[in-house]
Amino acid sequence: MPAVAELSPAQFVDRWPPPLAEREVVLLDVRESAEVAVASVPGTLHIPMAQVPARLGELDRNRPLVVMCHGGVRSRRVAEFLLDQGFENVFNLKGGIDAWSVEVDPRVPRY
């Protein structure tokens, strides 16, 4: 299995600054709906981890996919799964939304 590339939230924003991110990359949030209700990043595609296999058709294979969760563990597993399914440009958001709050936008609540 290929290794999953990682990006910190700061690296994500440096690479795809707004509004470029909305057109060029998919930020896939694999947390549960209750978690997304507490804290979220605008413009993300929300597909809970357990639903990803059934919803692969919703993912754009032509754009990079950056997978995020709360701290980076679930998202790494989903990123590995996506690579196994033939997706090629997949990243794990290191530290998840918690790191996003610290590194990029302190208005995003930490939980």
- Domain locations along the chain: 5-103
pLDDT score of 55: 98
Which pLDDT does position 18 carry in this prediction?
Answer: 83
- One DSSP character per residue, the chain reads -PPPEEE-HHHHHHHS-TTHHHHH-EEEE-S-HHHHHHS--TT-EE--GGGTGGGGGGS-TTS-EEEE-SSSHHHHHHHHHHHHTT--SEEEETTHHHHHHHHT-TTSPP-
Q: What mean pLDDT is predicted for residues 36-52?
A: 96
**Which residues belong to the active site?**
69
Q: Choose which CATH entry (3.40.250.10, 3.40.50.150, 3.30.870.10, 3.40.50.300) describes domain 5-103.
A: 3.40.250.10
d(CA 110, CA 39): 7
